[in-house]
Amino acid sequence: MQHFWKYVSIGVVNTAIHWSLFLIMHNGFAFSQASSNTVAFLIAVSFSFWANARYNFNSQLTGRKYFLFVIFMGLMSLSIGYMSDKLALNSFVTLVIFSAVSLTLGFLYSKLVIFRENNS
């Protein structure tokens, strides 16, 4: 459970980064939700990977782990942004959906795949 609560704490900062960038890009510069979500994600996920590796799972940062984490989370981000555009969802709804899904699936993927050797 300790890993989960640290993941949540890091996720709060990650979410602030993600939401701020998303809203600036989508509402301020009229980028699509898919584009806004993907760019905001790339910046926020880099922070999340670094912080979780260092402060949560005490794991070494490697290019392979980063690549796997970014690909997994990126496909999820792009999929949710794409579906939101197709369904013409409000941007706030998109952010809430992505935040909930990425918290749950991101934690499980981090714990069971990316940082599995450090799950004591």
Q: Where are the domains of the chain?
A: 2-118
What confidence tens digit (pLDDT) does each residue in 80-109 have? 989 999 999 998 898 889 888 988 999 999
**Alpha helix positions (H), the chain:** 2-23, 29, 33-51, 63-86, 91-109
Mean pLDDT score, 60-79: 92
pLDDT confidence of residue 120: 52
Compute the average pLDDT of residues 5-34. 93
Total-model pTM: 0.78
Name the average pLDDT for the chain: 90
Give the C-alpha separation, 49 to 18, whole Å: 14
Q: What is the mean pLDDT of residues 33-62?
A: 91
